[in-house]
């Protein structure tokens, strides 16, 4: 067996508009689990139509394609699954206190180190593929002022530069292995053990109403339980416009 049969395809660009957009444009001719990395993105995208701005060659910016229909159907739970892979990657650098901020961020000591963007591709009314994008702050040590959430990076946490080339390889291999074995991984347990919001007071918007409660567990359908006056609300990320911990 050669490496190509083990690992379908990993592309790397020096510069691109967005790895996310590349896969969305080209998904028809690409295989399941194609990975696209780029050193720089001219139009990096974050969630909720925000921009994802990253210094050139400093960070990991990548997206991968899912066409396996069994996985496509797990749309709702994949971003938490991906967050647990990032947690494992960071923990392998002996970084402590890596937490998963529902629904799709990864924090170290309450600062954001990675964000996940999951987009579906429809053919007619059918969801036929997914593109999952990850921005992981690696060697960037200064960030623009006024970001909504304080950022951090591996370099800031470890006080040393990380070899991006090695990290890229390691990331690709780890993601590929985990995606292949998704059915045997209890990722929900990992997510709940490192659930950043757990037992924190959160404000959230539910059916157009602003409410406050205490966050509890992440559920198998990827909803978050929020307790309010003894009542449990299971909120789906799509139903929550903002969730702030205080």
Q: Which residue is nearest to ligand BTN (CB)?
A: 115
Please list, in sequence order, all residues whose beta carbon lies within 8 angstroms of the beta carbon of residue 42, skipping any fewer than 6 positions away: 15, 16, 17, 18
Q: Is 63 in the site for ligand BTN (CB under 6 A)?
A: yes
Q: Is 151 in the site for ligand BTN (CB under 6 A)?
A: no
State phi, psi for 232 to the nearest 5 degrees.
-100, 125
How many CB atoms neighbour CB 12 within 10 A? 15
3-state DSSP call for residue 244? strand
The nearest distance, CB 23 to ligand BTN, in angstroms, is 9
Contact, 171 vs 62, CB < 8 A? yes
Judged by CB under 6 A, the stretch of 70-78, 120-128, 130-138, 201-209 that binds ligand BTN is 130-138
Report the interhelical angle of 164-180 vs 75-91 (nearest 10°). 140
CA 70/CA 84 separation, integer angstroms: 20
Q: Is 61 in the site for ligand BTN (CB under 6 A)?
A: yes
Cis peptide before 141, with omega less than 30 degrees from 0? no
Tokens 């001719």 sit at which residue? 29
Q: For ligand BTN, how many residues bind (rule: CB under 6 A)?
A: 20
Q: Is 47 in the site for ligand BTN (CB under 6 A)?
A: yes
The nearest distance, CB 40 to ligand BTN, in angstroms, is 11
The DSSP 8-state label assigned to residue 240 in this structure reads -
The nearest distance, CB 168 to ligand BTN, in angstroms, is 13
Judged by CB under 6 A, the stretch of 111-119, 160-168, 194-202, 204-212 that binds ligand BTN is 111-119
Q: Which of 82, 100, 106, 110 is nearest to 193 (CA)?
A: 100
Among 100, 135, 198, 202, binds ligand BTN (CB under 6 A): 135
* Residues 156-195 within binding reach of ligand BTN (CB under 6 A): none
Q: Which two tokens stand for residue 135?
A: 């921005």
Judged by CB under 6 A, the stretch of 6-14, 44-52, 86-94, 196-204 that binds ligand BTN is 44-52
The nearest distance, CB 1 to ligand BTN, in angstroms, is 30
3-state DSSP call for residue 44? coil
Please list, in sequence order, all residues whose beta carbon lies within 8 angstroms of the beta carbon of residue 146, skipping any fewer than 6 positions away: none
Among 41, 140, 195, 237, binds ligand BTN (CB under 6 A): 41
Q: Is 111 in the site for ligand BTN (CB under 6 A)?
A: no
Q: Is 113 in the site for ligand BTN (CB under 6 A)?
A: no
Pick between residue 12 and residue 228 the one whose CB is nearest to ligand BTN.
12
Contact, 185 vs 192, CB < 8 A? no
Among 30, 72, 117, 215, binds ligand BTN (CB under 6 A): 117
Query: Which residues bind to ligand BTN, rule: CB under 6 A?
Result: 18-20, 41, 44-47, 50, 52, 61-63, 105, 115-117, 133-135
């Amino acid at each position: 067996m050669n490496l190509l049969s083990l690992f379908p395809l990993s592309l790397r660009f020096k510069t691109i508009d967005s790895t996310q957009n590349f896969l969305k444009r080209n998904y028809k001719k690409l295989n399941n689990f194609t990975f696209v990395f780029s050193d720089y993105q001219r139009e990096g995208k974050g969630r909720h139509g925000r921009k994802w701005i990253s210094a050139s060659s400093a960070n990991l910016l990548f997206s991968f394609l899912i066409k396996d229909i069994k996985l496509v159907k797990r749309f709702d739970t994949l971003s938490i699954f991906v967050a647990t892979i990032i947690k494992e990657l960071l923990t392998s650098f002996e970084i402590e206190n890596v937490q998963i901020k529902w629904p799709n961020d990864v924090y170290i000591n309450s600062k954001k180190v990675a964000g996940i963007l999951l987009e579906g591709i429809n053919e007619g009314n059918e969801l036929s593929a997914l593109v999952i994008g990850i921005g992981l702050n690696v060697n960037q040590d200064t960030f623009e002022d006024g970001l909504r959430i304080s950022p951090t990076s591996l370099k800031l946490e470890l006080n040393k530069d990380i070899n991006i080339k090695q990290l890229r390889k390691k990331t690709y291999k780890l993601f590929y292995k985990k995606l292949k074995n998704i059915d045997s991984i209890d990722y929900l347990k990992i997510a709940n053990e490192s659930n950043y919001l757990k037992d924190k007071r959160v404000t959230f918007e539910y059916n157009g109403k602003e409410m406050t409660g205490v966050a509890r567990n992440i559920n198998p359908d990827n909803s978050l339980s929020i307790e309010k006056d003894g009542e449990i609300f299971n909120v789906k990320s799509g139903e929550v416009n903002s969730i702030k911990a205080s």
